[in-house]
Structure 1
Amino acid sequence: PESRKRTKHIDNNINPIWNETFHFILDPNLPNVLELTLMDANYVVDETLGTASFEIAKLEVGQTKKHTCSVGKATKVHLEMTLEICTNQDLRFSLALCDKEKEFRQTRKERVMLGIKKLLDMEKPRFLPSSPEEVPVIAIAGSGGGFRAMVGFAGVMKALFESGVLDCATYVAGLSGSTWYMTTLYSHPDFPNRGPKDINSELMNRVSSNPLRLLMPQHVTNYIQALWTKKASGQPVTFTDIFGMLIGETLIPARMHIKLSGFQEKINQAQSPLPLFTCLHVKPDVSELMFADWVEFSPYEIGMAKYGTFMKPDLFGSKFFMGTAVKKYEENPIHFLMGVWGSAFS
Structure 2
Amino acid sequence: MGANSSSPEGLAKVREQTRPREATPFRLLTVRIMRARNLQKADIFTESDCYVCLWLPTASSEKVRTKTVPNTKDPVWNQAFCYRIDSRVKNILNLKICDEDTFTKDDHLYTVLFDLAKLQTGQTSRVSFKLNPETHEELDVEFTLQCIPDHPENIITNGVLVARELSCLEVMVDIKKLKQLYTKGDLTFTIQGSYEETQKIPLAPDSSLSNIHVIQFHCIKNHQSNLEITLPKKVQLSILGLFKDDSESNTSVVLPLNELPIEETITLGEDRTFDLHVKTKDWPKDLDVRLGYDLCAEEQNFLNKRRKYVAAALEKVLQLQEGLQDDEVPVVAIMTTGGGTRSFTAMYGSLLGLQELNLLDCITYITGLSGTTWAMGNLYEDADWSQKYMEEAINKAQKQVSKSKFNSLCMDKLKYYYNELKQRTEEGHNTSFIDLWGLVVESMFHDEKDNHTLSDQRAALSKGQNPLPIYLAINLKDNYSAQDYKEWLEFTPYEMGSFKYGAYIGSEDFGSEYFMGRLMKTLPESRICFLEGMWSSIFSLDFMFFWNLANNSEDFWHRWTRDKIEEIDDSVPPSRPHELETHIVTSQGQLSSSLRDVLTGRPTIAEYPNFLRGFQFHNEYYENEHFSTWKKDTVLDNLPNQLMETAEHPLSLVEAGFFINTSYPPLLRPQRKVDLILHLNYSGGPQIFNLDRFSPYTSKLGIPFPKTEFSEEDRKHQKECYVFEDTDNVAAPVVLFFPLTNDTFRKYKEPGVERSPTDTEGDVDVCSWLSPYTTKEVTFSEENFHKMIKLTRYNILNNENKIVEALRVAMKRRKQKEL
- Name the TM-score class by shorter chain: 0.7 to 0.9
State the AA in 2 paired with 1:303: G
Deviation (angstroms), 1:99 = 1.1
TM-aligned CA distance change 1:5 to 1:14, over 3 Å? closer
Which residue, 317, 321, 324 being the options, matches 2:515?
A: 321
Q: Which residue of 2 aligns with 1:210?
A: 404
Deviation (angstroms), 1:196 = 2.6
SS of alignment partner, residue 385 of structure 2: coil
Q: Which runs of 5+ in 2 are unaligned?
A: 1-194, 232-251, 541-657, 659-819
Which residue, 292, 304, 308 being the options, matches 1:106?
A: 304
Q: Which residue of 2 aligns with 1:2?
A: 196
Q: Contact conserved, 2:228 with 2:254, CA < 8 A, in 1?
A: yes
Q: Which residue of 2 aligns with 1:294?
A: 488
SS of alignment partner, residue 230 of structure 1: helix
What RMSD in Å do the two structures reach over aligned CA positions?
A: 3.6
Q: Which runs of 5+ in 1 are unaligned?
A: 38-50
SS of alignment partner, residue 275 of structure 1: strand
Q: Which residue of 2 aligns with 1:270?
A: 464
The percent of aligned pairs where both chains have the same amino acid is: 27
Between the aligned partners of 2:298 and 2:309, the Cα distance in structure 1 is 17
Deviation (angstroms), 1:158 = 1.8
State the AA in 1 paired with 2:297: D
Between the aligned partners of 2:441 and 2:312, the Cα distance in structure 1 is 37
SS of alignment partner, residue 84 of structure 1: strand
Deviation (angstroms), 1:114 = 1.5
Q: Which residue of 2 aligns with 1:230?
A: 424
Q: Contact conserved, 1:143 with 1:176, CA < 8 A, in 2?
A: yes
Deviation (angstroms), 1:112 = 1.5
Deviation (angstroms), 1:315 = 2.5
TM-aligned CA distance change 1:78 to 1:141, over 3 Å? same
The normalised TM-score by structure 2 is 0.36
TM-aligned CA distance change 1:5 to 1:163, over 3 Å? farther
- Which residues of 2 match residues 16-31 of structure 1 at below 5 A? 24-26=218-220, 28-31=222-225
Q: Contact conserved, 1:301 with 1:310, CA < 8 A, in 2?
A: yes
SS of alignment partner, residue 218 of structure 2: coil
- The alignment of Structure 1 onto Structure 2 pairs a total of residues equal to 325
Deviation (angstroms), 1:105 = 0.8
Between the aligned partners of 1:82 and 1:124, the Cα distance in structure 2 is 67
- Which residues of 2 match residues 134-283 of structure 1 at below 5 A? 134-188=328-382, 191-192=385-386, 194-254=388-448, 256-283=450-477
SS of alignment partner, residue 287 of structure 2: coil
More strand by share: 2
Q: Deviations over 1:186-233 (max 9, x none)?
A: 024663554432111111111111111011222111111122233344
Deviation (angstroms), 1:75 = 8.4
Q: Which residue of 1 aligns with 2:321?
A: 125
TM-aligned CA distance change 1:252 to 1:83, over 3 Å? farther
State the AA in 2 paired with 1:242: L
Q: Which residue of 2 aligns with 1:41?
A: none
Deviation (angstroms), 1:301 = 1.1
Q: Contact conserved, 2:384 with 2:465, CA < 8 A, in 1?
A: no
The normalised TM-score by structure 1 is 0.79
Q: Contact conserved, 2:457 with 2:493, CA < 8 A, in 1?
A: yes
Between the aligned partners of 2:210 and 2:428, the Cα distance in structure 1 is 32
TM-aligned CA distance change 1:288 to 1:69, over 3 Å? same
More helix by share: 1
State the AA in 2 paired with 1:276: I
Q: Contact conserved, 1:293 with 1:304, CA < 8 A, in 2?
A: yes
Larger RCO (alpha carbons 8 Å, 6+ apart): 1
Kindly name which structure, 1 or 2, has the bigger radius of gyration based on alpha carbons: 2
Q: Contact conserved, 1:25 with 1:326, CA < 8 A, in 2?
A: no
Between the aligned partners of 1:58 and 1:167, the Cα distance in structure 2 is 65
Deviation (angstroms), 1:330 = 1.6
Deviation (angstroms), 1:21 = 8.8
Q: Contact conserved, 1:249 with 1:256, CA < 8 A, in 2?
A: no
- Is 1:116 the counterpart of 2:310? The answer is no
Q: Contact conserved, 2:361 with 2:466, CA < 8 A, in 1?
A: yes
Which residue, 293, 299, 305 being the options, matches 1:95?
A: 293
Deviation (angstroms), 1:265 = 1.0
State the AA in 2 paired with 1:159: G
Between the aligned partners of 1:315 and 1:32, the Cα distance in structure 2 is 31
Between the aligned partners of 2:345 and 2:485, the Cα distance in structure 1 is 30
TM-aligned CA distance change 1:204 to 1:111, over 3 Å? same
- Which residues of 2 match residues 68-83 of structure 1 at below 5 A? 81=279, 83=281
TM-aligned CA distance change 1:324 to 1:25, over 3 Å? farther
